């Protein structure tokens, strides 16, 4: 897949994006389940039993848009089911190059994937250098309970930073300073439970990133999962110079 720009990001749904860098396309965080066929997030074993949500809607909240899913490799920031689901496991080719956190490499191999490439620090693929970056999936003990998460920087002639499921904290600022990306994609939605603080970025987090970089800033992970309560319209109204794409929309530099 090629585009007229060195970098383009095609939002599929939630955190599932097709990120194209210098003609190489990465399918990031594939979630292919049809609308309403996954449980509410608190019915998932990855979520501590003590947590509740403000609603019990079934996930995903919206249908998968009609998008051409052509790609060269897969990248999974972490294995929560809204980032890698049973439908993706069944649909992806077993021999697809699959980049992931080192902690989760064995799980992919156990599922039958034969070209799992854990990223400790950085790796190269088809002329693109892939750097793994830190993330914090919430605050305090809740973040610890959510398990390890990562972001990824894709570096070629231009640089794309996909922050993953993280809040704004010092390592995100350090990543922006270190790599000086041309485009930044944030996971928004201000996902939250009725206990504790949000576990993905809200208005203040997005604004902090916007203030810290000259890059194009886009926000995904919106309006698809039942605990993501911040809407696209609210985020657009309360931020400036931030792109908030609709499902199926493509962004280019």
pLDDT tens digits for 130-163?
Answer: 999 999 999 998 998 898 999 999 999 999 999 9
pLDDT at 46 over 80: no
pLDDT digits (tens, 9 = 90+) for 166-220: 999 999 999 999 999 999 999 999 999 999 999 999 999 999 999 999 999 999 9
pLDDT at 1 over 70: no
pTM, two decimal places: 0.96
Q: What is the pLDDT of residue 47?
A: 83
What pLDDT, on the 0 to 100 scale, is given for residue 5? 63
The string over 87-114, giving b where at least 16 C-beta atoms fall within 10 Å of a residue's C-beta and e elsewhere, is: bbeeebeeeebbbbbeebbeebeeeebe
* pLDDT single digits (tens) 54-107: 999 999 999 999 999 999 999 999 999 999 999 999 999 999 999 999 999 999
114-126 pLDDT tens trace: 999 999 999 999 9
- Can you tell me the distance from the alpha carbon of 134 to that of 244, in angstroms, rounded to the nearest whole number? 23
pLDDT of 128 > 90? The answer is yes
pLDDT number for residue 139: 94
Measure CA of the first residue to CA of the last residue in the chain; give whole Å: 16
| Residue 141: how many other CB atoms lie within 10 Å | 10
Structural domains of the chain, ranges and CATH numbers in brackets: 7-244 (3.60.15.10)
Dihedral in degrees, nearest 10, Cα atoms 111, 114, 117, 118? 30
4-to-20, 22, 112, 136, 189 alpha-carbon distances in Å: 10, 9, 36, 34, 30
What pLDDT is stored for residue 49 in this prediction? 85
């Amino acid at each position: 897949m090629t585009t007229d720009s060195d970098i383009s990001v095609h939002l599929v749904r939630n955190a599932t994006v097709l990120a194209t860098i210098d003609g190489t396309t990465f399918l990031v965080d594939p979630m292919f389940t049809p609308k309403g066929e996954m449980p509410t997030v608190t019915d998932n074993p990855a979520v501590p039993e003590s947590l509740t949500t403000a609603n019990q809607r079934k996930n995903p909240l919206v249908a998968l848009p009609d998008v051409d899913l052509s790609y060269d490799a897969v990248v999974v920031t972490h294995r929560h089911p809204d980032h890698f689901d049973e439908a993706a496991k069944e649909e992806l080719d077993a021999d697809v190059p699959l980049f992931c956190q080192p902690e989760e490499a064995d799980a992919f191999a156990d599922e039958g994937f034969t070209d799992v490439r854990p990223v400790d620090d950085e790796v190269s693929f088809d002329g693109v250098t892939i750097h793994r970056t830190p993330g914090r999936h919430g605050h305090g003990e809740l973040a610890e309970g959510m398990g390890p998460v990562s972001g990824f920087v894709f570096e070629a002639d231009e640089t794309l930073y996909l922050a993953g499921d993280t809040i704004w904290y010092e390592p995100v600022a350090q990543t922006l300073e270190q790599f000086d990306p041309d485009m930044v994609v944030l996971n928004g939605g201000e996902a939250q439970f009725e206990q504790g603080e949000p576990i993905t970025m809200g208005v203040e987090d997005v604004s902090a990133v916007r203030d810290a970089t000259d890059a194009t800033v886009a926000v995904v992970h919106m309006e698809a999962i039942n605990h993501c309560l911040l809407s696209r319209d609210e985020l657009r109204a309360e931020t400036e110079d931030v792109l908030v794409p609709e499902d199926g929309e493509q962004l280019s530099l």
